[in-house]
Structure 1
Amino acid sequence: MSVHFDERSGTVRCKTPWGEWYQTMEEVFIEVQVPLGTSAKEIKCSLGSKDIALSVKGEDILKGKLYDSTVSDEGTWTLEDKKQVCIVLRKSNREAGNCWPSLLKGQYNADPLLKDEMQKKLTLERFQREHPGFDFSGADISGNYAGGGPDFSNLGK
């Protein structure tokens, strides 16, 4: 059984008033806290390739243009334990450099340090995929990613 990248390295989560969101090279995950006891029929969720709309009990929770495009027919949502809506969007552009700095255009931005951490995780994920036999669990990417790229000189030592 292979260990999924997220389980091995953790995720960098961006907190929001309604919950949090995080990403991998391929997907964006959105976790929305809803009132305990919420039923699926009380949830309306529309997942387009460029926009999203989520309302619970008639109240808009999340609505707007996504930061980048997704594969609309591969987006899913589930209600977990009647208290959390989990949305998974598949990125159209799945390059490691495609780090979303915000969930929606102009909303739910990751602060600069968090965005840098997100970019480092995606870069590390790419290297993990390119070198599947190498153990990256203790890897640390030094430096500011935006400043010209990561330094992997500390790996394998």
Structure 2
Amino acid sequence: MSHFDERSGTVPCKTEWGSWWQTIEEVFIEVDTGVGTVLSAKEIKCNIKSKSIALSIKGNTVFEGELFENVHADEAVWTLEDKRYVRICLSKSHSTAAHCWPSLLVGQFKVDPVTFDEMQKKLTLQRFQFENPGMDFSGAEMTGNYQGGGPELPG
């Protein structure tokens, strides 16, 4: 899976604190604390539950709320990189192309329609890659409306 992402890139949703993006199985969150920031892990509080998430840095809430869909909280991971970037990886409870999140949190960090369409196409291509492991879909182009994870493949 990571090889597909490395070759085909990501479709991020920009936010005031950084960005988030998704694959069929995971949601990735990257918080950029700013140039010149030097953090230690002790200054970060990240509380991930199956249906909610809260992140605060140095006592300031970055985001908090109900996740768009459930995640496997016990599989979630967060890291601090370069003492500046907080990266969070969430494992989706529903791992299908049909479960493309239109927002990170309910009512917050919503994806614009063009980006959402690109996210859906990306997840559909990823699904095709899973179903056809010998083929390289990283340079493929999708056209049309692929809401709901795209057309069903025969067989």
- How does the TM-score come out when normalised to structure 1? 0.90
Over 3 Å counting, the alpha-carbon distance change for 1:45 and 1:147 in structure 2 is: closer
The Cα offsets for residues 71-118 of structure 1, whole Å up to 9 and x where unpaired, read as 010011000000010000000000111000000001000001100100
**Alpha-carbon distance in 1 for matches of 2:150, 2:112:** 19
Give the deviation of 1:37 after TM superposition.
0.5
Larger mean CA deviation between 133-142 and 39-48 belongs to 133-142
What does residue 102 of structure 1 align with? Answer: 103
Gaps (5+ residues) in structure 2? none
Give the deviation of 1:148 after TM superposition.
9.4
Aligned partner of 2:107: which letter?
A: G
What does residue 47 of structure 1 align with? Answer: 48
**Alpha-carbon distance in 1 for matches of 2:55, 2:33:** 11
Q: Greater RCO between the two (CA within 8 Å, min separation 6)?
A: 2
> Tell me, what secondary structure is at the counterpart of 2:147?
helix
**Alpha-carbon distance in 2 for matches of 1:149, 1:137:** 16
Q: Percent identity?
A: 61
Does residue 69 (structure 1) correspond to residue 70 (structure 2)? The answer is yes
**Alpha-carbon distance in 2 for matches of 1:131, 1:57:** 46
What is the root-mean-square deviation in Å for CA atoms of aligned residues?
A: 2.0
Give the deviation of 1:38 after TM superposition.
1.0
Matched ranges for 1:115-134 at <5 A = 115-134=116-135
Over 3 Å counting, the alpha-carbon distance change for 1:149 and 1:93 in structure 2 is: closer
Aligned partner of 2:43: which letter?
A: E
What does residue 57 of structure 1 align with? Answer: 58
* Aligned residue-pair number: 151
- How does the TM-score come out when normalised to structure 2? 0.91
The Cα offsets for residues 20-39 of structure 1, whole Å up to 9 and x where unpaired, read as 00000000000001251011
What does residue 155 of structure 1 align with? Answer: none
